């Protein structure tokens, strides 16, 4: 992940190297997977992302599941792959069963979701709003659930409640946000499908796309893509240099191009003058998971660049005004760098708050009653964690 390596000025921070992965929902709910396979949860549980008996908020760190190899969280639920191979699910029960109620705890979804693969063969489970993509280690992409906007990319707009193979053996990564989806091929090419409203996918007109279609206007090797309801952000690599391309509407500033009308085709631009564009790297968009209308970018020493919806101060710029072009967040530790490491995990980012776990402590900006957070800049929330 992308760490803050220096947090000492925040006080007595206890270092921990036991965290393997962190996921979060849009309203301040955290799922923390340890290297020993324990899954701890705390915060907003609005869609029962945590596998509890109800959707009530979890006010204290709680052990939700054990023997876990990997976790994946989306808008309406969470998947967990166990070390024994089972694929567990909790949340809105509409991916397999077209049911709008919530599961009462973790449910074994292995037979319906795996498409004949064992959980150990699954590289990634991307969860949307009633839709899930299953990416196997061999590059095969499968889909299950809602498809009313063509987000499944199978050439139809029909829902499917058993795993359907969409692409065989040539997918490196997949991304899904509600009504739009994208994948990066093993050759570094970008393919998109879904609603495409407001030209969010940057392909043709703003009508639905029901078959994954290649974007041919972006030069270089595509290394990361974040697809949202309003726009898409893409990072490419060309001879060791990284570039940022965007398309769609910029009504909330989600593209960072300082033009509310946005762009109908992929456009490359330089970030804020104080940001060193050359230090962008392949996971620069990872900080907030980039929700449909908030787009943080990491890269240069001691700086987080943010743009987009800031109604709750979740971008950390010092106020609650939407940000129309990339601006530095405040409260970030001086001297922090964003090179790969194990000390810091992007915990959660969305419409309410952004939470980051670093060096065994939690930092956040925005609003969260569970974490007693109401700030427009990054502040320390918890100095020690139980895992």
Report the relative pairing of strands 141-145 and 209-215 from DSSP bridges. unpaired
Return the SS3 of 161: strand
pLDDT at 297: 54
Lowest mean pLDDT, pick from 143-152, 196-205, 266-275, 303-312: 266-275
Q: Which helix (H) or strand (E) holds 194?
A: strand 190-194
pLDDT tens figures, 208-233: 999 999 999 998 899 888 888 888 88
pLDDT at 287: 43
Calpha distance 52→104 (Å, rounded) = 6
Q: Are 203 and 154 in contact (CB under 8 A)?
A: no
pLDDT tens figures, 7-50: 222 222 334 568 888 887 777 788 989 999 999 999 989 989 99
Q: Please provide the size of the chain in residues.
A: 387
254 vs 296, which has greater pLDDT? 254
Show Cβ contacts of residue 342 under 8 Å, excluding neighbours closer than 6 positions: 1, 3, 17, 19
Calpha distance 344→296 (Å, rounded) = 16
Strands (E), 35-148: 39-43, 58-65, 68-73, 77-82, 87-91, 107-108, 122-127, 131-136, 141-145
**Which two three-digit tokens encode residue 186?**
């093993």
pLDDT at 311 over 80: yes
Give the number of C-alpha atoms closer than 13 A to the C-alpha of residue 233, restricted to the C-beta side. 30
pLDDT at 253 over 70: yes
Residue 59: other Cβ atoms inside 10 A: 11
Give the number of C-alpha atoms closer than 13 A to the C-alpha of residue 255, restricted to the C-beta side. 29
Calpha distance 348→285 (Å, rounded) = 13
Calpha distance 145→91 (Å, rounded) = 13
Query: Which residues sit opposite 363 in a β-bridge?
Result: 356, 380
Query: Which residues sit opposite 115 in a β-bridge?
Result: none
pLDDT at 310: 87
Domain 19-290 has CATH 3.30.2290.10: no
**Which two three-digit tokens encode residue 158?**
């029909």
pLDDT at 335 over 50: no
Give the number of C-alpha atoms closer than 13 A to the C-alpha of residue 239, restricted to the C-beta side. 1
Q: In what order do the strands lie in the sheet with 68-73?
A: 68-73, 77-82, 87-91, 107-108
Query: Where are the domains positioned within the chain?
Result: 19-290
Please report, in angstroms and rounded to a whole number, the separation of the first and last CA atoms in the chain: 18
């Amino acid at each position: 992940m992308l760490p803050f390596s220096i947090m000492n000025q925040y006080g007595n921070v206890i270092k921990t190297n036991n965290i393997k992965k962190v996921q979060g929902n849009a309203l301040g709910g955290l799922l923390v997977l340890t290297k020993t396979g324990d899954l701890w949860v705390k915060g907003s549980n609005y869609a029962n992302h945590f596998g509890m008996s109800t959707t009530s908020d979890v006010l204290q760190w709680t052990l939700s599941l054990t023997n876990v190899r990997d976790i994946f969280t989306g808008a309406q639920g969470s998947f967990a792959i166990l070390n024994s191979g089972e694929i567990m699910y909790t949340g809105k029960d509409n991916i397999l069963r077209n049911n709008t109620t919530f599961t009462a705890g973790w449910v074994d979804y292995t037979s319906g979701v795996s498409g004949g693969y064992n959980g150990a063969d699954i590289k990634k489970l991307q969860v949307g709003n009633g839709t899930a993509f299953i990416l196997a280690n061999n590059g095969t992409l499968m889909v299950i659930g809602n498809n009313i906007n063509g987000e499944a990319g199978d050439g139809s707009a029909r829902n499917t409640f058993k795993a359907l193979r969409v692409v065989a053996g040539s997918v490196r990564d997949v991304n899904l946000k509600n009504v739009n989806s994208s994948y990066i091929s093993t050759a570094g090419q970008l393919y998109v499908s879904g609603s495409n409203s407001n030209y969010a996918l940057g392909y043709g007109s703003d009508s639905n796309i029901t078959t994954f279609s290649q974007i041919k206007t972006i030069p270089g090797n595509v290394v990361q893509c974040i697809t949202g309801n309003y726009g898409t952000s893409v990072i490419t690599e060309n001879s060791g240099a990284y570039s940022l391309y965007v398309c769609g509407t910029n009504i909330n500033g989600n593209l960072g191009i300082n033009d509310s009308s946005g762009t109908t085709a992929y456009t490359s631009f330089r970030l804020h003058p104080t940001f060193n564009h050359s230090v962008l790297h392949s996971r620069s968009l990872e900080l907030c998971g980039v929700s449909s209308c908030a787009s943080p970018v990491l890269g240069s020493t001691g700086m987080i660049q943010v743009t987009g919806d800031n109604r709750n101060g979740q971008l950390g710029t010092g106020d609650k005004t939407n940000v129309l072009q990339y601006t530095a967040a405040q409260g970030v530790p001086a001297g922090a760098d964003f090179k790969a490491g194990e000390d810091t995990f992007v915990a959660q980012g969305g419409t309410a708050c952004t939470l980051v776990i670093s060096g065994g402590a939690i930092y956040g900006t925005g609003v969260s009653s569970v974490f007693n957070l109401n700030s427009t800049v990054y502040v320390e929330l918890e100095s020690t964690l139980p895992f």
